[in-house]
Homo-oligomer: A and B are copies of this chain.
Amino acid sequence: MRNVVRCGLIGFGTVGKGVYQLLQENAHLIKLRTGIDVQIVTICDLRTDLVRREVSGITVTDNWRDLLEDDSIDTIIELIGGIEPAKTMITECMKKGKDVVTANKKLLAEDGDQVFDLANSGSAKLGFEASIGGGIPCVVSLKSGLVGNRVHTVMGILNGTTNYILTRMYDKAIPFDDALREAQDLGFAEADPTFDIEGHDAGHKIALLSMIAYNKKVHFSNVQVQGITRITLLDIMYAYEMGYVIKLLGISRKIGDEFDIRVQPTMLPFKHPLASVRDEFNGIMYDNDMTGPVTLYGKGAGGLPTASSVVSDIVQMAQKDNIYENAISLEGEINYMAPGKRKCRYYLRLYSEDKAGILARVAGVLGNYDISIASVMQQEVEGTYVPIVITTHGANEEGMMRSIGEINKFEFISGDVVVIPVEDFE
């Protein structure tokens, strides 16, 4: 155990400031609890004047190599995000034996091989609790708390922006665009929200959680990602009538020897542990051989919550002289399930002309692909086209996609059929 941890902090944005504030307020508490004195000795940020106005007793620089060359710094906190220059900073520091704590999910999920290899080689330790689920201790729960379990499924609401939008659509019965605008006004969504609403952020996070759960490298490029832009208020309302909520889920599942890892809008029954995760909150469920389902939830973003996770990693790394903690690629390459092989229940919603024989033709196509219908709902409405909602029993994804391709071609259908997988819970 190291009794003193001397940190170099790179990036004095929201989370960086949060780490500084947390240590100002609670460093004595951490020392009382663990015997470890966590100190920030240098902060690196291009806006040196701004930083100097906000901190005292800490060296401020705009050159990260000052941290690299300072042998008294044993731990680097990287909070600038993105691939470069973060990757160079992290790998150079690890090569010099400095432990690294990072919130950089993009780097780790898209281009993390070199960083993970350095961690596995024992050069230095790597902590990335802050990359996933803000202040929720989801990594330590999985790595330490559930260390004795084989994980079957990781499932999470991993992006606060999209969860806020879906919650507002549901609560206020407003369309996607209005909910997005409200999220932007409140600071829950970026001016360019693409990264969040297209599911990329959640994809990075489910890739990282999968690595820990299955002890294999998972690349973001192998995660099938679908966002929420095609979710309509109508589907949210139909889901509600049937006892479901629509959530953007990251799902990672071991099926036989294969792994199905994806991000997609999913219908969850009200009693599912993740169904009640609302607003900008995140929630993560691990389903394991020994414990059964274990769920965590809390604030998935923000300066102080994320700082809590940064500090948790720093303390744990100081308490352990163990390198295996980082070993997440020891069981060889992951075997991805081929797209389309997954089987699940589906919700389909289409707009059709209101005339006889239509349901028979749609059901006929589904039947050709061995898809059996569980329920049909068609309400009388005014207008040329009427909405028809169909739920299916367990169906093969490829068959479903092919049948939808055929149904979309019917001349009596308006627009594309909306397809949403349905997750059940016991």
- Measured CB to CB, the residues of A under 8 A from B are 1, 18, 22-23, 25-26, 29-30, 32-36, 129, 134-137, 140-141, 143-150, 215, 271, 273, 275-276, 278, 288-299, 304-305, 307-309, 311-312, 315-316, 319-325, 327, 330-331
Query: Within the complex, which residue of B147, B215, B312 is in contact with A147, where a contact is CB–CB below 8 Å?
Result: B312
Can you list 27 residue pairs at the A/B interface with Cβ under 8 Å?
A1-B321, A1-B322, A18-B290, A30-B147, A30-B148, A32-B215, A34-B325, A135-B292, A137-B141, A137-B144, A140-B145, A145-B309, A146-B308, A147-B315, A149-B308, A273-B276, A275-B276, A288-B308, A290-B305, A290-B308, A292-B298, A293-B298, A294-B298, A295-B296, A319-B319, A319-B325, A321-B321
Assembly CA distance A129 to B1 (angstroms): 22
> Which residues of B sit under 8 angstroms from A278, Cβ to Cβ?
271
A323 to B34, CA, bound (A): 8
Q: What 10 A-B pairs are tightest by C-beta distance, nearest first?
A: A137-B145, A135-B291, A148-B311, A35-B324, A294-B298, A290-B308, A290-B304, A1-B322, A137-B141, A291-B305
Give every chain B residue within 8 A of A305 (Cβ-Cβ): 290-292
A26 to B296, CA, bound (A): 23
Residue of B nearest to A307 (CB): B290
Residues of B within 8 A of A30 (CB): 147-148
Q: In the docked arrangement, what's the CA distance between A1 and B327, Å?
A: 15
CA distance A32 to B330 in the complex (A): 7
- CB of A348 to closest CB in B, whole Å: 28
Residue of B nearest to A134 (CB): B291
Closest B residue by C-beta to A142? B137
Bound together, the chains give a CA A293 to CA B302 distance in angstroms of 13
Chain B residues with Cβ under 8 A from A299's Cβ?
Answer: 291-294
